[in-house]
Structure 1
Amino acid sequence: MRPAREGDVPTGSSDVSGRTHPPLPNPSPTGGEGLQAGWSARLKLRFEATTLAGASRTVLRERSHVGPLRVLKPLYPEGDAVCHAVLVHPPGGIVEGDSLSVEVKVDAGASALITTPGAQKWYRSSGRTASAETHLTVADGASLEWLPQEAMAYDGARAQQRFTIALAPTARFFGWEMLCLGRTTRGERFASGEFRQGIRLVRAGSDAPLWRESMHLVGNDPLLTSPLGLRGLPVMATAWIALGDVADGGGTDAVLAKVRDALAGEPLAAASAPDEGLIVVKAIGDAPEAVRNLLIAVWKSIRLQVFAREPQLPRIWST
């Protein structure tokens, strides 16, 4: 049986939103009874640029969900131009058989910042794989800042994650993905299990992706402790900065210099510009907080130049 979790909703009942959930099937690998199917949850968001009293405003024009995946009330801590949204997964973790899908679209001229209140937890599996897919689309003249907290893969988790970023030619983007292998506060290692990840970043009109990577880690993989791999460190992260039409102050080279200044003194982090208008940051570390703070420092260093806004941390991080 799938273990009960905080926030579980009895089958055939309604959750806090009033949405009715049909009973879940109970298939087993052999076709019999006794193994409960995982949850399938989907969330779709669309941000639109409008005008209010002569000023630009971004609104969350569309939001739809199926299953336990939500977005909190849109927030405007830095004015109407930027809409802040917080994605929440009420169960608090992903178990074997679960399937999550998030689709975000930012229309032309709109600006959105999206984060999460806590880590995404991949729980131990008895054999089946859980999956999550994220697809972000940003139109011309629009901007998206994707700042989720880390994904944490428990020892024994079996997970598959796909992440796609589709950008129009003048779209601006800053985002990161962080992975923590094991519960570091308990001294847990990723001794068994499997984690697969595929990442793809594309610009409209390009024949090839600007960035593409894939990863397949298994428990006790030599790569986890190799000096050419993770060096025994449990946290890894990638961040992307897509400049769009930003050209003031030297363009890509100037922004890359700011990023490298923010990374100065960090021997396990580096930044490069694999293509004009794109900067990629890679980092590893011994604790998610340290790596997250490093990426936040990078974001703060470039926000004014790339997004024409002073950095302001999401409020949810302070609660």
Structure 2
Amino acid sequence: MNTMQPNIVTPEALRVSELRASFRKRDAQTVLASKYHTAPIKIAKTFPLGGPLGVIVMDVSPGLLAGDRYELQWQIEEDAHVCLTNQSFTKVHPAPDERSGSSMKQVFELGAGAVAEWMPEPTMLYRDAAFVNETEVWLAPGAVWMGADVYCPGRTLRGERFAYREFRNKLNVYYGNELIYAQHQRILPASQQLAAPGCMADMTHAGVFYAFSDRIGTPEAEAVREALGGFPIREGQPLIWGVTLTHKHGLAVMAAGNAAWALQEALAAAWSALRMRLLLQPLTFRK
């Protein structure tokens, strides 16, 4: 698996930071088997969750600056279960010119029966930011991968709304060696009508929740729809959402609203419902 270089960052400008970790099941508990990192990212803490292992990723820098590239690789061995998150918002700082930017790529490799849950804090795209976010998931039979992301249009209290230059979001999922899902989103606020009906309309924040496993089918999608259908709408916080099965072994939730916390709550409801269906475990991993 080769690391792809985003077009908006010139190779000579890259500052690559790496984080690699592997996990295995020992008796009834998942443990950290090995790790390697280069500044400014590292594993800040791991803690047992009654079988699964909780993992918190720390970024000791102010955020992703122009020319930064983060590369994270997670190997979850057979029957191991990890719940991954980070300490705070992923902050993407301005890029000074049209050929600069920042990027992050994550690769998840799951053995048979392994489970990986990636639930980070939201991503904040500052004015003039240019960012590529790439995720690859490799699934063995019986494995489960779940991930959620919330994207903020900028520092709205400072008047930033879709003032960033470019955002690309890519997700490729493989079952064995078969590509079963591919998504590539590109947002260019200066040239796209994001406020148009059918796009963001009057919403500002976007959220996604994906789950992939050969154990996912119509009953799992219906359980997620039921959970979101019963989710209480906060006063002054409109929320729109949709749930669909993917072509093979997966489901996707797309949501939009006007606050990151409201989307986080809604996606947590979807996550919890699916967790009970697939893992028979309630949602306990919340910061």
TM-score relative to the length of structure 2: 0.87
Question: Hey, what does 2:23 align to over in structure 1?
Answer: 47
Q: Residues 97-136 of structure 1 correspond to what in structure 2 (within 5 A)?
A: 97-127=67-97, 128-136=100-108
Gaps of 5+ in 2: 1-9, 234-238
Match of 1:215 among 157, 181, 185: 185
Judge which range, 181-190 or 60-69, deviates more: 181-190
Q: Give yes or no for the alignment of 1:297 onto 2:269.
A: yes
**In structure 2, which of residues 200, 222, 226 is the aligned counterpart of residue 230 of structure 1?**
200
Q: Name the CA distance, whole Å, in 1 between partners of 2:203 and 2:63.
A: 23
Q: How many Å apart are 1:205 and its aligned residue?
A: 4.1
State the partner residue of 1:259.
224
Q: Hey, what's the Cα distance between the residues in 2 that align with 1:231 and 1:242? A: 29
Between Structure 1 and Structure 2, how many residues are aligned? 268
| Shift in Å, 1:192 | 4.5
Matching of residues 27-42 of structure 1 within 5 Å: 39-42=15-18
Q: Percent identity?
A: 22
Would the alpha carbon gap of residues 38 and 210 (structure 1) be closer, same or farther in structure 2, given more than 3 Å must change?
closer
- What are structure 1's unaligned runs of at least 5 residues? 1-28, 32-36
Larger Rg: 1
2:53 counterpart residue number: 83
Distance in 2, matches of 1:223 and 1:45, equals: 41
Amino acid at match of 2:22: R
What is the TM-score normalised by the length of structure 1? 0.79
Alignment of 1:188-203 (within 5 A): 188-203=160-175
Secondary structure in 1 matching 2:96:
coil
Amino acid at match of 2:227: A
- Residues 166-196 of structure 1: per-residue CA shift (max 9 Å, x gap): 1112101211122212112333112341112
Instruction: Encode CA deviations 1:39-66: one digit per residue, 9 max, x unaligned.
Output: 4211001111112xxxx11111011001
The partner residue of 1:59 within 25, 31, 34 is 31
Q: Which amino acid aligns with 2:186?
A: H
Displacement, 1:70? Answer: 0.6
Check conservation: 2:16, 2:68, Cα contact below 8 A. Answer: yes
Superposed CA RMSD: 2.0
Structure 2 distance, partners of 1:88, 1:97, is 19
Q: Larger % of strand: which?
A: 2
